[in-house]
Amino acid sequence: MTATRVLVLNSGSSSVKYQLLDMGDGSRLAAGLVERIGERTSRLKHSPLAAGGDERETTGPIADHEAALKAVAQELAEDGLGLDSPELAAIGHRVVHGGKRFTRPTVVDDAVLAEIERLIPVAPLHNPANLTGIRTAQELRPDLPQVAVFDTAFHTTMPEAAARYAIDVETADKHRVRRYGFHGTSHAYVSREAARLLGRDPGDVNLIVLHLGNGASASAVEGGRCVDTSMGLTPLEGLVMGTRSGDVDPAVIFHLARVGGMSTDEIDTLLNKRSGLVGLCGDNDMREIRRRIDEGGEDAARARLAFDIYIHRLRKYIGAYYAVLGRVDAVVFTAGVGENSAPVREAAVAGLEGLGLAVDDGLNAARSGGPRLISPPDARVAVAVVPTDEELEIANQTYALVRDGGA
Ligand code: ADP
């Protein structure tokens, strides 16, 4: 029997998201999420997609990632999809930071684990959880290839001119301070799917990809290779996000420390958790912000300001990446906001006819789950909505590696 199943694990600091896919026919067999690991009120939600039936939800204490993965394995076993199955080909792990070294998905061995660990100082929130996920999966199935798929990998093609900050080179290199970029799995998947939608070879098209979720990033993709992206050393730089500020003058930090008396940790929390849309208007959900604007009244003003700042930054990046690329074939929207918010898409390109950009109101307003064009048929530059699927991309990359004998 050929092993064609891939389990995808996305281990966060207090959560694990998972999907089991069959790469033989591309079907999704099961999916779920463990939340609030380490608390008394941990929750496991499991969707038995192939086995059928309702979503199962269990609450109760789940002490750590090991217990969480064991609980997931048990749920899968209940559906007849246990991790001991010979049909399981590999486990694919999302790893947030791969530094400069990991330019592609990699089968995990001790040296790879050590390198992911060495990168903890530049990804203190993410890499430790990713490592725990990998180690626990290794314990559960020591014989199985574990594949690390890095959020940074797609961006390792950035030229030095885009990847370096203009700070003292020795200091930067000593502390590995450079622009790495994130959401790479999504940018890779979406740019390939966008080329397919345009009926063109990925190597022939130049794209501006806008991944607008709770976290948000833009990238400039030239012939399938990333040449610039808006996130940097960490996922804080760039666009206005749900709770993150995106770009600020770095001197804001010195000012808050010296004049505001805030500690480094307090400023870190401010910029990562209490800024962006939530800091500007109290809501980080674009649906809620649009509702407040549409209902008008006093409550609308702050929501409107948050929306305007979000859009202003987005338009600056579209303009910047237009200049980086020189020629643009399509602007592509993806992730929660990008796929669902017609007002964001409309405002992002409004008045940019001079750059060949426009949306057709009817096409923009239409709802659809699949990739689609929303620009008028005669537009010089296409505007597209392409739903992202990071789990599928991780599964594809994992399976391609183990099938081709990389393991
Ligand atoms: P992440 O993976 O970064 O957590 P998602 O890509 O799932 O985020 O995006 C989540 C965000 O998408 C929500 O916070 C919300 O702002 C936005 N969103 C989801 N659905 C809609 C919708 N129908 N209209 C507008 N925004 C939406």
In the prediction, which pLDDT does 1 show?
A: 60
Q: Please check the confidence at residue 74 and state whether its pLDDT lies above 90.
A: yes
394 vs 2: which has the higher pLDDT: 394
Domain membership flag for residue 404: no
157 is a domain residue:
no
157 lines ligand 1 (CB under 6 A): no
**Residue 174 within a domain:** no
Residues 128 and 220 in one domain: no
**Which amino acid belongs to residue 248?**
V
pLDDT of residue 240: 98
Residues 325-353 have a mean pLDDT of 97
Q: Is 243 in the pocket of ligand 1 (CB under 6 A)?
A: no
Evaluate whether residue 38 is within a structural domain: yes
Residue 288 marked as a ligand binder: no
* Residue 214 alpha carbon, nearest atom of ligand 1: 3
Closest ligand 1 atom to the C-alpha of 285?
A: 16
Top mean-pLDDT range of 82-86, 345-349, 368-372: 345-349
210 lines ligand 1 (CB under 6 A): no
Tokens of 263: 């500690």
Highest mean pLDDT among 13-27, 112-126, 309-323: 309-323
For 176-194, write each residue's pLDDT tens digit.
Answer: 999 999 999 999 999 999 9
- Rounded to the nearest 5 percent, the helix, strand and coil shares of the chain are 40, 20, 40
Q: Are residues 285 and 138 in the same domain?
A: no
Q: Is the CB of 327 under 6 A from ligand 1?
A: no
Average pLDDT of the chain to the nearest whole number: 95
- Looking at the structure, tell me whether residues 242 and 363 fall in a common domain: yes
Contact 187, 202 (CB under 8 A): no
Assess if residue 183 is contained within a domain.
no
Residue nearest ligand 1's atom 4 by CA: 214
CATH number at residue 69: 3.30.420.40
Among the listed residues 281, 279, 396, the one whose alpha carbon sits nearest the alpha carbon of residue 28: 396
Distance 286 CA to ligand 1 centre (A): 7
Q: Give 242's DSSP letter.
A: S
Is the domain of 245 the same as that of 98?
Answer: no
Q: Are residues 209 and 354 in the same domain?
A: yes
The verdict on the CB of residue 286 being under 6 Å from ligand 1 is yes
380 within domain boundaries: yes
| Side-chain half-sphere exposure of 234, counting CA atoms within 13 A | 16
Per-residue burial over 36-53, b = 16 or more CB atoms within 10 Å of its CB, e = otherwise = ebeeeebbbbbbbbeeee
Q: Is 130 annotated as a binding residue?
A: no
Specify the pLDDT at position 407. 47
pLDDT at 406 > cutoff 60: no
**Residues 211 and 304 occupy one common structural domain:** yes
151 is an active site residue: yes
Residue ending a domain, among 91, 118, 150, is 150
Range of the domain at 221: 200-390
Task: Please list the alpha-helical segments (H only) found in 14-118.
Answer: 65-78, 110-118
- Active-site residue among 151, 228, 283, 389? 151
Q: Are residues 122 and 22 in the same domain?
A: yes
10 is an annotated ligand-binding site residue: yes
Domain ends where: 112, 127, 150? 150
Q: How many domains are contained in the chain?
A: 2
Q: Are residues 143 and 216 in the same domain?
A: no
Pocket-testing residue among 286, 293, 310, 344, ligand 1, by greatest number of atoms within 8 A of Cβ: 286
Ligand 1 pocket: which of 287, 344, 394 to mutate (most atoms within 8 A of CB): 287
Same domain, 45 and 125: yes
Q: Is the pLDDT of residue 129 over 50?
A: yes
User: Could you tell me if 204 and 142 lie in one domain?
Assistant: no
Q: Is 353 annotated as a binding residue?
A: no
Query: 387 in ligand 1 pocket by Cβ < 6 Å?
Result: no
Indicate whether 130 and 248 sit together in one domain: no
> What is the DSSP annotation of 318-347?
HHHHHHHHSS-SEEEEEHHHHHH-HHHHHH
Query: Which residue's CA is the nearest one to ligand 1's atom 15?
Result: 285
338 lines ligand 1 (CB under 6 A): no
Residues 6+ apart with CB under 8 A from 388: 186, 189, 190, 211, 334, 335, 339
Please report the pLDDT score of residue 157 as a whole number: 97
Give, using CA atoms, the residue closest to atom 21 of ligand 1.
340
Tell whether 174 is in a known binding site. no
Indicate whether 189 belongs to any domain. Answer: no
Same domain, 145 and 217: no
User: Would you say 185 and 388 are in contact if contact means Cβ atoms under 8 Å apart?
Assistant: no
Question: Is 179 domain-assigned?
Answer: no
